[in-house]
Amino acid sequence: MVESIKKMFGDEATRYTMVLITHGDEMEADGVSAEKLLYFNPSFNEFVSKCLGGYHVFNNNECNSENKKKQVNELVEKIDRMVQRNGGLCYTNDMFREAQRAIDQEMFQMNGQGEPIGSRDAAEKNNSFVRAVEQTEAVGVADVVKGVRAVREAWCTTQ
């Protein structure tokens, strides 16, 4: 999975990647913590260890508004720390485009004719994620974090 992320977004993408584990409350009910999941599932542990943003666990069925605020605040704090570890930089569409250029260049070399391989072009045109990225303006993690903070603040004041 990490290799797929690197292929799609470039080698640096893992510095900006965090695993979000949902339904932590269901895991708890089954007697499984995130730490146990990582310990007893080596492939998942390897995946998480390659995502340099680490992981965060959400309890989806949390009813207590204070606990809801707490888990959102903890996520935002982890994102802030990840951004700081990256020198205050966020993964941007420019980074994505640069990764795509590198992939295209590699494919040109493999093709030997200096033109894109048809199946790649067709796949990209039919890929909703690639289309969405191409149609959006550059939005980095910092912008997403600002949005999350705004939603959190609005949500916290209404609860």
**What is the structure's pLDDT at 157?**
53
The DSSP call for residue 31 is T
Q: How many CA atoms lie within 13 A of 35 on its CB side?
A: 0
- Which residues lie below 8 Å from residue 8, measured CB to CB, with a gap of 6+? 99
**What is the structure's pLDDT at 146?**
55
40, containing H or E segment:
helix 34-40
CA–CA separation, 98 vs 95, rounded Å? Answer: 5
**What is the structure's pLDDT at 126?**
54
**What is the structure's pLDDT at 159?**
45
**What is the structure's pLDDT at 138?**
43
**What is the structure's pLDDT at 147?**
54
- Which residues lie below 8 Å from residue 41, measured CB to CB, with a gap of 6+? none
CA–CA separation, 23 vs 99, rounded Å? Answer: 33
90, containing H or E segment:
none
**What is the structure's pLDDT at 97?**
84
**Exposure letters 37-59 (e unless 16+ CB within 10 A, then b):** bbeeeeebeebbeebbbebbbbb
What's this model's pTM, rounded to 2 decimal places?
A: 0.60
Residue 87, token pair as written in the block:
């020198």
**What is the structure's pLDDT at 73?**
92
**What is the structure's pLDDT at 136?**
44
Bridge-partner residues for 56, per DSSP? 20
Q: What is the DSSP string of 77-118?
A: HHHHHHHHHTTT----HHHHHHHHHHHHHHHHHHHSSSS--H
Q: What is the full per-residue pLDDT of the chain (159 aa) written as tens digits?
A: 778 777 778 888 888 889 999 898 888 889 989 999 888 988 889 889 988 889 999 888 877 888 888 998 999 999 999 999 988 888 888 888 888 888 777 777 766 655 555 555 555 555 555 555 455 444 444 454 455 555 555 554 544
